[in-house]
Amino acid sequence: MQLSAPIHVLKRKAKVMARDSGLALHQALDRVAVAEGYRSWSHLSASTSTQEQPGGAVLARLRPGELCLIGARPGQGKTLLGLELALRASQLGRRGFFFTLDYHARDVADRLRSIGPDVASAGDALVIDTSDDVSADHIVRRLRVNEQPALVVVDYLQLLDQKRTNPDLQTQMAVLRDFADETGAICVVISQIDRSFDLSDRPMPDVSDIRLPNPLDLSVFDRFFFLHGGRVRMDRAA
């Protein structure tokens, strides 16, 4: 069945509907799916071509011990991609962790429902941390007691040093870099893209578009994944 718009556009439509109507996000997603001729959003997700879903493509490129960055403008699906990676960590024999300073637990639950799989089946394989204390040190402390290899998603880069008691971004990324090197953990950090990209005529953002209100040497990352218009592009660090 042909969709009237790409998946990321339909998700944005549902988000606007939820905000304007007071519906929960998963209810708005179901309404959008029904309008597209599906029983529910999970039905739409399961029926959608895998080519439209970047999660599998990104997951296949992650390697043990890597520190990676996912960058996109608002509404392009970077948070959903991060959640999907954490949810599917078991496919790499890992336990998934999602640390966020941007969302509350209910918001995360709504977004997980929009992915499609039954989140309840993830059980202890997926850990969600919405603490105000999220920082590189907090993340490492939590992971030290985890006996399984970890796939860690951090949402998002530009919030990590907003709390004055937290170290600067360079120090925090060095902590995650060292932890990944030491343990073989896969660490994925979600990042904003500067709004100047919207004024360019380029089809995809790149490293130069990463929003850095505070200094950070981006060579600390092994790989970069950029999302735009439902597509994903991978760049390796220089």
182-219 per-position pLDDT tens digit: 999 999 999 999 999 999 999 999 999 999 999 999 99
**What pTM was estimated for this model as a whole?**
0.79
Distance, in Å, from the CA atom of 47 to the CA atom of 146, rounded to the nearest integer, reads 35
* 209 close to 198: Cβ distance less than 8 angstroms: no
| pLDDT above 50: residue 145 | yes
Cα 100 to the center of its chain, rounded Å: 10
- The predicted structure's pLDDT at residue 51: 45
Q: Is 39 helix (H, G, I), strand (E, B) or coil?
A: coil
Q: Where are the beta strands (DSSP E) in 12-94?
A: 67-72
For strands 223-228 and 231-236, give the pairing.
Answer: antiparallel
54-236 placed in CATH 3.40.50.300? yes
Which single residue is written with the structure tokens 């071509």? 49
pLDDT 10s digits, 152-166 = 999 999 999 999 999
Distance, in Å, from the CA atom of 14 to the CA atom of 12, rounded to the nearest integer, reads 5
| pLDDT above 50: residue 50 | no
- The predicted structure's pLDDT at residue 112: 80
Here the tokens at position 214 are 């505070």
Q: Where are the domains of the chain?
A: 7-51, 54-236
Q: Which of 48, 51, 103 is nearest to 80 (CA)?
A: 103
**Residue at 72: amino acid letter:** A
**Residue at 36: amino acid letter:** E
Q: CA-CA distances (angstroms) from residue 30 to 35, 40, 198, 235?
A: 9, 5, 30, 34
Here the tokens at position 212 are 């850095």
Q: Is 231 helix (H, G, I), strand (E, B) or coil?
A: strand
- The predicted structure's pLDDT at residue 123: 58
Which single residue is written with the structure tokens 């039954």? 118
